[in-house]
């Protein structure tokens, strides 16, 4: 809401619009005060300064308790100054009395969306709209602002993979792996990268099919095609081929076929119902 005023003196008539409705768009800080209140006069300049610095990220709404006693009563105000943070029409944090500026900054930060979180949400919206390049830029910004949040970096790597920018994705995942562990989502991306590398060496689905047509009973060539199909995100076909190979030759080509299939299941992710079904079928076929 960049064009809306960021400091408002509300009334009984405008409170609904100034606070309740506006808090669905951005955070609203409600300051209950009075002309005769000395501590209020100490707090208001600090609040106004921080509001100006925020440049519209939140709105400061001042409520004179002498002019709006009904509002003060509705919020259970016992003493002033009394300050309440509102989000989506609901109070999320509050305090009474005067806080020094550093404490006020920390209080605001506790409920204000961070620039990194805002960039991440923007990236999600770009993805929903089908704009992967814009999503990648937003996820990159979020990752740079708060690199300690793994979700931001993993999501960035995933979109880079979707854009076929494999090397950049690999660099992010390698950096995450330096912690000594990887989240399941990151493990799936690593498996996808490895699968892509293997298939690139063999020439992809078209080359794998061509080779298999020349020798359709060759299980090794069948496995190559399964790998290529998996790299092309045709997981159902790829897993069916791997299962068939395991069934035919459990002790031979079935061993690497099982490994390929496990990799495919990892790529599909822990929440995939298809992966869960194939995992059960693999266990039955191999054991």
Give the active site residues.
37, 40
Helix, strand, coil percent content, the chain, rounded in steps of 5: 65, 10, 25
Q: What is the DSSP string of 40-85?
A: HHHHHHHHHHHHHHHTTSSEEEEEETTT-HHHHHHTT--SSSEEEE
Q: Quote the tokens at residue 40.
A: 């209020």
Across-strand partners of 7? 60
Closest among 86, 121, 104, 112 to 48, alpha carbons compared = 104
Half-sphere exposure of 215 (CA within 13 A, CB side): 10
In this structure, are residues 28 and 82 in contact, taking their beta carbons and an 8 Å threshold? no
Distance CA 207, CA 53 (A): 60
Distance CA 41, CA 28 (A): 20
Chain centre to alpha carbon of residue 246: 38
């Amino acid at each position: 809401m960049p064009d809306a005023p960021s400091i408002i003196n509300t009334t009984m008539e405008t409170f609904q619009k100034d606070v309740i409705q506006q808090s669905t768009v951005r955070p609203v800080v409600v300051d209950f005060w009075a002309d005769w209140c000395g501590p209020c006069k100490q707090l208001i300049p600090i609040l106004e300064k921080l509001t100006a610095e925020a440049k519209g990220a939140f709105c400061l709404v001042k409520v004179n308790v002498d002019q709006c006693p009904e509002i003060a009563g509705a919020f259970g105000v016992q003493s002033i100054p009394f300050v309440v943070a509102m989000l989506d029409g609901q109070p999320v944090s509050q305090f009474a009395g005067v806080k020094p500026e550093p404490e006020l900054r920390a209080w605001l930060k506790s409920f204000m969306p961070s620039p990194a979180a805002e960039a991440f949400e923007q990236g999600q919206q770009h993805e929903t709209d089908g704009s992967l390049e814009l999503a990648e830029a937003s996820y990159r910004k979020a990752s740079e602002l708060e690199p300690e949040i793994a979700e931001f970096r993993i999501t960035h790597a995933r979109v880079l993979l979707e854009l076929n920018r494999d090397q950049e994705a690999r660099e992010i995942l390698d950096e995450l792996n330096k912690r000594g562990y990887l989240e399941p989502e990151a493990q799936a991306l690593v498996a996808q990268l490895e699968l892509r590398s293997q298939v690139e060496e063999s020439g992809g689905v078209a080359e794998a099919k061509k080779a298999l047509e020349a020798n359709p009973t060759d299980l090794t060539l069948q496995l190559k095609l399964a790998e290529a199909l998996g790299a092309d995100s045709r997981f159902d076909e790829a897993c069916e081929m791997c299962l068939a190979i395991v069934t035919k030759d459990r002790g031979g080509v079935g061993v690497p076929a099982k490994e390929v299939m496990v990799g495919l299941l990892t790529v599909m992710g822990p929440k995939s119902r298809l992966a869960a079904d194939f995992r059960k079928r693999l266990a039955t076929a191999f054991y």
